[in-house]
Homo-oligomer: A and B are copies of this chain.
């Protein structure tokens, strides 16, 4: 018995992952998730990050209608075994998350939502946020804000929030599955302008815990970000 107890506990596949890649990439000028970074398309980097994480049960990709078959093809080519579905998203970010949260299998207690355009998320970041969400119900990785942030309206500064209380939130954001589905349904029904999934959960009055994020877990938005991504890859 003692021998068994001392063996490292094998992590159970407790979490389904929704990868949201349904945006228009307006600021990039082309489909950012299909852009090549290093020798792989962005979306392949992203999906590969979840393949080896033992807590991850499956991955559902939510994307635009016109990208479904291309992404499904990439999953086959790169043998991404955890990707179970590639489905069509909605017209808003919350709508796409909601669709993903309904498409995952029903027996995983946790759902993670991850930006398709964050290709450099590490196993460490993923495991830490899943572990925290298992305990707290809702968790997201975050890094301290480096810049001085101003709250401004009509071009005039109203206040300078204390920087030590400000965090850039990243993904994957992980939640109790029922909580997330309810929160996203409500956000969509209310037409709420939520820029991340935590916000939908916070609107329900629920607490979200923060876990350590990673400077390299960048979200690719502009062409400058692609250059930074190339630089990051060269260092790895």
Residue ranges of A at the interface with B (Cβ–Cβ < 8 Å): 140, 142, 145-153, 155-161, 163, 165-169, 195-196, 198-199, 202, 207-210, 215-216, 219, 221-222, 224, 227-228, 230-232, 234-235
Contact = CB atoms under 8 A, between A and B. Distances in A.
Nearest to A206: B157
Given A157-B210, A207-B157, A222-B215, A198 B166 contact: no
**How many copies, total?**
2
Contacts of A148: 168-169, 195-196, 198-199
Contacts of A149: 145, 149, 166-169
Interface hub of A150, A159, A160, A227 (most chain B Cβ within 10 A): A150
A155 to B, nearest CB: 5
Contacts of A228: 224, 227-228, 231
Secondary structure of the A contact surface, majority rule: mixed
A161 B169 CA distance: 12
A198 B150 contact: yes
The 9 closest A-B pairs by CB, nearest first: A227-B231, A147-B168, A157-B208, A148-B196, A148-B195, A228-B228, A150-B167, A160-B199, A148-B169
Contacts of A161: 151, 161
